[in-house]
Amino acid sequence: MAGIQSIFRPDLFEQCNVLVTGGGSGLGLRCAHEFAQLGARVFICGRSEDKLVAAAAQINEAGGCAEGLVCDIRDRDTVGVMMQTLEERAGKLDILINNAGGQFPAPAETISAKGWQAVIDTNLTGTFNVMQAAFNKHFRKKGGVIVNVIADMWQGFPMMAHTGAARAAVDNLTKTLANEWGRHGVRVNAVAPGIIRTSGLATYDAAVRPMIEEAGKQNQATRMGTEAEVAAALLFLASPAASYITGATLRVDGGQSLFHPLYPPNGERVWDGWDDPA
């Protein structure tokens, strides 16, 4: 096999335009950084212009190419404007990473109608809005790649009924659109992270964080995952290395979704994390 060229090369995403929703911080920013390092022109979208400007500057200072697009994905018209702007600036979109989302911990019986709707509007409707607009504006005629970020909701999602329902719906939507849009050359996949150590943890109440830290050990790695580990899965599914994969959801959870009370983790850390600061 001497002389073969691996698909995993420094210019893997050269000539590709990538849109990362929720790309101003956390996992989205890490993902945008990695696409840019591998040659992509990256667009990051979110509601905070200041955050987007700072994030794009960070990527550009590291040698990448990135710019921000202010957009509320819950608003279909605003999403349409974003797709038009992207076309005017770059001509085309090749890859969409649907990372934007948000939720808050609460027992199901206490979730208000407003709280429920806010999470559904962002995590489900917003995700669909961006996928539909990307398909109609960019992917219908020339194909493309979509990777959705969902969550470990396979055994229900206690204290997160709203986002569990929305993420489960996006898992189904991923399969549905892989079927409907495959004939147009569009691949649609998803990544389901477990409990990940990310900047988003800071948004939770201080009393809740120790519970999340402890829950993050209930997997075969006995630790929380890292942003880099999830980003690697996203980039793989977006890359030509996954060109024969569509309609799939890749679980990046250290075996969290396989937890079984008859054979629980032994409490000792066994797998070191990629780019794990701990």
pLDDT score at 44 = 98
Angstrom distance (rounded) from CA 95 to CA 227:
19
Angstrom distance (rounded) from CA 187 to CA 149:
15
Q: What percent of the chain has a predicted confidence (pLDDT) above 90? A: 78
- Res. 174: pLDDT tops 60: yes
The Cβ-side half-sphere exposure at 34, using a 13 Å CA radius, reads 23
pLDDT score at 259 = 83
pLDDT 10s digits, 27-59: 999 999 999 999 999 999 999 999 999 999 999
> What are the tokens at 125?
């409707």
pLDDT 10s digits, 112-145: 999 999 999 999 999 999 999 999 999 999 999 9
> What are the tokens at 170?
């996006």
- Res. 222: pLDDT tops 60: yes
- Tell me the domain boundaries of the chain: 17-204+224-256
Angle, nearest 10°, between helix axes 161-181 and 127-134? 20
Q: What is the mean pLDDT of residues 89-109?
A: 96
Q: Would residue 82 be called left, alpha or beta, if left means φ above 0 and alpha means ψ between -120 and 50 degrees? A: alpha
Q: What is the mean pLDDT of residues 60-84?
A: 98
Query: Where residue 212 falls among pLDDT bands split at 50, 70, 90?
Result: confident
Instruction: Using DSSP, state whether 226 is helix, strand or coil.
Output: strand
Read off the amino acid at residue 170. V
Output the average pLDDT for the chain.
93
The domain 17-204+224-256 having CATH identifier 3.50.50.60: the answer here is no
pLDDT score at 276 = 66
- Res. 191: pLDDT tops 60: yes
Instruction: Judge residue 241's burial from the number of C-beta atoms within 10 Å of its C-beta, 0-12 exposed, 13-18 middle, 19 or more buried.
Output: middle
- Res. 4: pLDDT tops 90: no
- Res. 270: pLDDT tops 90: no
pLDDT 10s digits, 250-265: 999 999 998 888 888 7
The answer to whether 33 touches 62, Cβ cutoff 8 Å, is yes
pLDDT score at 1 = 46
Q: What is the mean pLDDT of residues 211-219?
A: 80
- Res. 2: pLDDT tops 70: no
pLDDT score at 278 = 52
